[in-house]
């Protein structure tokens, strides 16, 4: 039959396809050692049972043995076989056909005496359900014997494992795994604000799957997440306000009641706490209140200053006042906590008044010096009578000037007063 005599290369490829067909072990049924040259045909092919180890002998060259396997469901499959060529120089060729005789693989796959005795080939595409034929062909020296032991075929099904990141992200959400084998390395998903806790067979509950989890069928694994929480603390001048808040990543903290501080106006918080992504300390911001400090000299304002709470005002230039010496300020103006009026303090000056008898006598002296306070009423000294003259009073000049009396007040500077005489 033409379809059954397809080129050897094509047969090899077909055999590789069988290898891909699965981890479902398939065992070839052997021909008797007395098989005729050319071997069996499709019609007489023996069924291969899975997971059975067989051995066979080839006593003639160019013997063909046909076996078949039936696949119930479409699968990506792998063919695996182990063989030992125990005698003579022989080459074995493997090839896989579909039910109508078309080669599945890219041709014959061969192994010779002394070569690696294991062979694996995986077909990248699904094989449809149905019957597939494996041909094993022996090529060697005519009339020579060859012994092949422990030939095992497995059709290994691959199952799909879908990784559901469950609101996270993942670079490769699908993996194919041989049935009844461990899943192997698992991907690591990411989700902002969450800690990954593993893969589970259900969205809630279910069984946790690690790299040793055995895959029995197509399945979905769900990422399990734990929300990251952050601590948010509100403070004012280093002192905590209320309790520490536990806030889920990405959520907002809530502001406590506005704090108060003597001499200050609350001016909000120093950090945004609407999208929390880490532990956070939020501090109250304060604007100091301003107060007015007024400096006065008597009723005259000499300086008006706006001073923030707790700061100090600065002294204006030294004021002056006739007849007085400046003697500081009546209040402290450091660390201002309220509106304040500060007044200049004064110390009255001492002046020396000199009385000149101007030809007369004050007691036994011609002059008399008196110390008194500025603006104090002057106490006039008495002069002795002067022969031939009449005392006219005390004046600011020897030529009269301004006459002073008992009501005259001391000037702001040292002054000399003169007695004035008039001839009789």
Segment 23-27 mean pLDDT: 32
Domains and CATH numbers, the chain: 2-155 (2.60.120), 159-173+180-227 (2.60.40.4270), 229-288 (2.60.40.4270), 290-348 (2.60.40.4270), 350-423 (2.60.40.4270)
DSSP state of 200: E
384 Cβ neighbours under 8 A, 6+ residues apart: 360, 361, 362, 363
Instruction: Give the pLDDT confidence score for residue 161 in this predicted structure.
Output: 96
Q: What is the mean pLDDT of the chain?
A: 80
The pLDDT, as a whole number, for residue 122 is: 60
Tokens of residue 208, six digits = 């946790």
Lowest mean pLDDT segment, chosen from 5-9, 62-66, 115-119, 373-377: 5-9
- CA angle in degrees (0–180, nearest 5) for 311-317-323: 130
Sign of the CA dihedral 355, 356, 357, 358?
negative
Query: What tokens were used for 119?
Result: 């062979």
- DSSP bridge pairs for 355: 368, 417
Q: What is the mean pLDDT of residues 354-371?
A: 95
Q: Could you give the C-alpha distances from 156 to 75, 76, 108, 300, in angstroms and in order?
A: 8, 8, 21, 108
**From CA 372, how far away is CA 345, in angstroms rounded?**
20
User: Which residues make beta-bridge pairs with 257?
Assistant: none
Select from 245, 239, 233, 237 the least CA-distant residue to 271.
233
Question: Residue for token digits 């034929």?
Answer: 133
Distance CA 400, CA 179 (A): 139
198 — pLDDT class (breaks 50, 70, 90): very high
Nearest to 414 by CA among 359, 382, 369: 369
The 3-state DSSP class for residue 18 equals helix
Kindly tell me if the per-residue pLDDT of 4 is higher than 50.
no
Higher-scoring residue by pLDDT: 119, 279: 279
9 has pLDDT over 60: no
Segment of 3-7, 110-114, 136-140, 203-207 carrying the highest mean pLDDT: 203-207
Would you tell me how many other CB atoms lie within 10 Å of the CB of residue 285?
A: 14
H-helix or E-strand containing 231? Answer: strand 229-236
β-pairing verdict for 54-58 and 146-151: antiparallel
State pLDDT tens for residues 67-106.
Answer: 777 776 665 555 655 555 545 546 767 777 777 777 776 6
Mean pLDDT in residue range 30-46 = 49
The mean pLDDT value for 344-362 works out to: 96
């Amino acid at each position: 039959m033409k379809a059954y005599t397809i080129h050897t290369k094509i047969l090899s490829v077909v055999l590789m396809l069988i290898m891909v067909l699965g981890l479902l072990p398939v065992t070839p049924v052997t021909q008797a050692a007395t098989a005729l040259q050319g071997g069996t045909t499709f019609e007489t092919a023996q069924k291969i049972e899975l997971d059975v180890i067989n051995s066979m002998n080839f006593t003639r060259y160019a013997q063909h043995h046909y076996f078949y396997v039936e696949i119930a469901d479409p699968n990506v499959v792998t063919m695996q076989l182990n063989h030992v060529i125990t005698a003579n120089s022989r080459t074995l060729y493997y090839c896989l056909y579909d039910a109508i005789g078309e080669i599945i693989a890219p041709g014959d796959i061969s192994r010779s005496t002394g070569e690696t005795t294991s062979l694996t080939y995986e077909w990248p595409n699904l094989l449809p359900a149905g019957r597939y034929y494996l041909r094993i062909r022996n090529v060697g020296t005519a009339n020579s014997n060859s012994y092949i032991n422990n030939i095992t075929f497995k059709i290994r099904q691959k199952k799909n494992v879908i990784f559901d990141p469950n609101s996270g992200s993942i670079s490769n959400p699908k993996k194919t795994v041989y049935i009844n084998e461990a899943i192997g390395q698992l991907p690591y998903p990411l989700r902002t604000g969450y800690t990954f806790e593993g893969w589970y067979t259900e969205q809630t509950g279910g069984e946790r799957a690690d790299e040793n989890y055995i895959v029995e069928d197509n399945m979905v694994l769900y990422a399990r997440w734990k929300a990251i929480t952050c601590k948010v603390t509100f403070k004012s001048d280093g002192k905590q306000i209320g309790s520490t808040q536990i806030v889920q990543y990405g959520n907002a903290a809530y502001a406590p009641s506005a704090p108060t501080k003597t001499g200050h106006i609350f001016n909000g918080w120093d950090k945004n706490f609407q999208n929390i992504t880490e532990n956070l300390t939020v501090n109250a911001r304060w604007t100091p209140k301003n107060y007015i400090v007024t400096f006065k000299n008597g009723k005259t304002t000499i300086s008006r200053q706006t001073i923030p709470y707790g700061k100090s005002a600065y002294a204006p230039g030294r004021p002056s006042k006739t007849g007085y010496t400046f003697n500081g300020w009546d209040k402290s103006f450091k660390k201002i906590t309220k509106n304040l009026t500060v007044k200049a303090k004064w110390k009255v000056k001492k002046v020396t008044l000199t009385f000149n008898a101007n030809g007369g006598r004050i007691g036994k002296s011609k002059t008399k010096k008196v110390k008194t306070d500025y603006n104090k009423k002057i106490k006039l000294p008495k002069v002795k009578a002067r022969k031939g003259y009449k005392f006219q009073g005390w004046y600011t000049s020897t030529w009269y000037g301004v006459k002073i009396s008992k009501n005259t007040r001391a000037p702001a500077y040292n002054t000399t007063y003169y007695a004035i005489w008039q001839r009789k």
